[in-house]
């Protein structure tokens, strides 16, 4: 029966008929074969009937009252400008890596629901088309930050030695601590912050508890750049690029659209120089972006020319570029003789010479100080009208790596009895060779203030839940130093 008249396909009936004879013998016994097809008890019909009965039972059960009882719970006193049912917008800022990111938050009856960039902020505000003030970007981190606020995993209570405690227990302990005669063995390990208020509080604390030492540790640190600036200029300054004025932008392992405290501003300025009709470089002109980087980044995606090299080869490639431009000795590293490197660097050198004054070099925070210093020199010569420098607010502080190493040494030398860890998760992100997690065991009492009970909280005596930035007041400074409210 396998010869099919129509040739190409089999219907299910034909497939059944083609079964080996042993199985086909079952068919006559199957009641369906002799069925007219309207048996009300087929499985489908049975399920349908059951479903309908259940649904109707539901109607009957809830029939006497349509909806469950709901309550209207108005505030005791309604804030003056709050209209229930209407959203409000307010300006705030979010701090990441010790730099403020200006935001506008939409809130509904007191609950934040949406985060956007602040279009009126002097540093990041204003649209891509120069002169417009309606838009501002925000970063993926800022967008993600609102989810923390509602994260059910956020810690909600004080913990002492792994057991739930109350906030008044904690306050009692602080009261005891304050009665001490000397605070020589009290340390604070804080994450970086640009907040003038926190800095003022720090000074007050240092006054009230003489002997206390405050260390600052930040994993998203730009300390390499600070060191590079010292090599180049003899002092700590902060470079700020004006990408809307740059004809040529060279990113040296720098994902400045994402991983930079001024990323939002840089994105806006970069786009300003790319709009064909309203380009800040002049009508019809566009900037050109070169990315020399070790991993595919958002900046690499945007680049006109991208050179993938290993992280440690960024320095010789940059040195090669400098030697072509200034005539100094060429680096000896192998990589600069590779054809693709040579081609790109030579073309780039020609373009830089042609655009002198309007070239920007940006260096990523993972690159060593030597690359930052080299870029600072090149910016001086070739980017004079597109790069400016501002003072660093804390030019004399030790680097983050030094600070945490000092703390580790003090703990080893039994100089720390009480340690306050304000924010961050140093057990997780401090340099591994310090083994901070094990060292915390040698500190008699340690306190961790954090949004989550994390690796660090597990090693400290106290864990204190921290308010989210959308739940409290504060302030901060953006990369260029603009004061910003939170």
Partner 1 sequence: MARFLFPEWTQPLKKYVITPALLVGPVYIVLMAALVKDPQTLRVGYMPEQPVPYSHALHAGEMGLDCRYCHNVVEQSAKAAVPPAATCMNCHQTVLPRSEKLLPVRQAFFENEPLRWVRVTDLPDYVFFNHSAHVTRGVGCETCHGRVDRMVRVWQAQPLTMQWCLDCHRNPEPNLREPANVTVMGYQPAAGEGAAVKARLKINPPTDCSTCHR
Contact call for residue 54 and partner 1 (CB under 8 A): no
**How distant, in Å, are the alpha carbons of 61, 154, 196, 254 from that of 49?**
18, 47, 70, 65
Stretch that binds partner 1, among 81-89, 120-128, 196-204, 283-291 (CB under 8 A): 81-89
Interface residue with partner 1 among 16, 120, 334, 391 (CB under 8 A) is 16
Pick the stretch among 84-92, 319-327, 348-356, 423-431 that binds partner 1 (CB under 8 A): 84-92
Q: Name 374's Cβ contacts closer than 8 Å, sequence gap at least 6.
A: 228, 315, 318, 319, 322
DSSP string, 446-459: EEEEESS--HHHHH
Taking CB under 8 A as the rule, does residue 327 contact partner 1?
A: no
Minimal distance, residue 67 CB to partner 1, in Å: 5
Q: Does an H or E element contain 108, and which? A: strand 99-108
Least distance (Å) between residue 60 CB and partner 1: 7
**Least separation, in Å, of the C-beta of 473 and partner 1?**
20
DSSP symbol at 332: -
The three-class DSSP label of residue 307 is strand
Among 31, 207, 234, 329, binds partner 1 (CB under 8 A): 31
The whole-angstrom distance between residue 369's C-alpha and the CA centroid of its chain comes to 24
Residue 66 binding partner 1, by CB under 8 A: yes
The verdict on 69 binding partner 1 (CB under 8 A) reads yes
- The smaller minimum CB distance to partner 1, of residues 39 and 89, is found at 39
The smaller minimum CB distance to partner 1, of residues 75 and 301, is found at 75
73 binds partner 1 (CB under 8 A): yes
| Residues 6 or more apart whose Cβ sits within 8 Å of residue 20 | none
Q: Does 42 bind partner 1 (CB under 8 A)?
A: yes
Shortest distance, CB of residue 35 to partner 1, whole angstroms?
8
From CA 403, how far away is CA 407, in angstroms rounded? 6
Per CB under 8 A, the segment of 37-45, 134-142, 323-331, 436-444 that binds partner 1 is 37-45
What is the size of the binding site for partner 1 (CB under 8 A)?
Answer: 35
Asked whether position 46 contacts partner 1 by CB under 8 A, the answer is yes
DSSP string of 346-386, one letter each residue: HHHHHHHHHTTTSEEEEE-TTS-HHHHHHHHHHHHHH-TTT
Complex with partner 1: residue 45 or 197, whichever CB lies closer: 45
Closer to partner 1 by Cβ: residue 87 or 337: 87
Comparing CA positions, the residue from 461, 421, 412, 393 lying closest to residue 217 is 421
């Amino acid at each position: 029966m396998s010869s099919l008249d129509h040739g190409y396909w089999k219907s299910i009936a034909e497939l059944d008929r083609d079964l080996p004879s042993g199985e086909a013998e079952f068919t006559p016994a199957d009641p369906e074969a002799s069925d007219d097809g309207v048996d009300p008890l087929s499985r489908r019909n049975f399920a349908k009937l059951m479903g309908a009965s259940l649904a109707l039972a539901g109607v009957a059960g809830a029939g006497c009252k349509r909806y469950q009882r709901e309550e209207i719970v108005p505030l005791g006193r309604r804030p003056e400008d709050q209209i229930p049912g209407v959203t409000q917008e307010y300006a705030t800022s979010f701090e990441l890596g010790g730099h403020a990111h200006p935001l506008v938050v939409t809130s509904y009856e007191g609950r934040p629901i949406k985060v956007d960039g602040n279009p009126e902020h002097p540093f990041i505000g204003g649209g891509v088309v120069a002169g417009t003030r309606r838009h501002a970007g925000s970063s993926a981190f800022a967008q993600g930050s609102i989810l923390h606020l509602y994260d059910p995993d956020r810690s909600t209570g004080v913990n002492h030695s792994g057991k739930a405690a109350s906030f008044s227990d904690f306050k009692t302990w602080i009261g005891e601590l304050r009665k001490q005669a000397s605070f020589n063995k009290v340390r604070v390990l804080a994450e970086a912050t640009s907040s003038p208020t926190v800095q003022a509080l720090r000074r007050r604390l240092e006054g009230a508890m003489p002997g206390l030492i405050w260390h600052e540790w930040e994993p998203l640190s730009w300390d390499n750049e600070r060191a590079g600036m010292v090599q180049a200029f003899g002092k700590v300054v902060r470079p700020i690029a004006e990408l809307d004025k740059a004809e040529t932008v060279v990113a040296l392992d720098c994902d400045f659209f994402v991983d930079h405290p001024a990323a939002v501003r840089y994105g806006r300025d970069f786009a300003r120089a790319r709009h064909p009709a309203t380009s800040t470089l002049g009508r019809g002109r566009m900037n050109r972006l070169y990315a020399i980087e070790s991993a595919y980044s958002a900046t690499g995606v945007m680049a006109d020319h991208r050179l993938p090299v290993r992280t440690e080869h960024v320095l010789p490639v940059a040195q090669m570029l400098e030697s072509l431009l200034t005539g100094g000795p060429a680096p000896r590293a192998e990589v600069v003789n590779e054809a693709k490197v040579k081609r790109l660097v030579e073309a780039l050198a020609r373009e830089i010479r042609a655009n002198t004054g309007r070239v920007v070099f940006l260096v990523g925070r993972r690159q060593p100080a030597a690359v930052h210093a080299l870029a600072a020199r090149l910016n001086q010569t070739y980017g004079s009208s597109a790069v400016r420098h501002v003072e660093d607010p804390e030019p004399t502080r030790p680097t983050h790596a030094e600070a945490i190493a000092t703390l580790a040494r003090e703990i080893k030398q039994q100089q720390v009895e009480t340690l306050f860890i304000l924010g961050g998760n140093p057990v997780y992100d401090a340099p591994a060779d310090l083994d901070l997690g094990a060292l915390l065991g040698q500190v008699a009492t340690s306190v961790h203030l954090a949004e989550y009970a994390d690796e660090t909280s597990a090693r400290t005596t106290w864990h204190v839940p921290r308010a989210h930035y959308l739940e409290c007041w504060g302030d901060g400074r953006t990369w260029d130093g603009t004061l910003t409210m939170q």
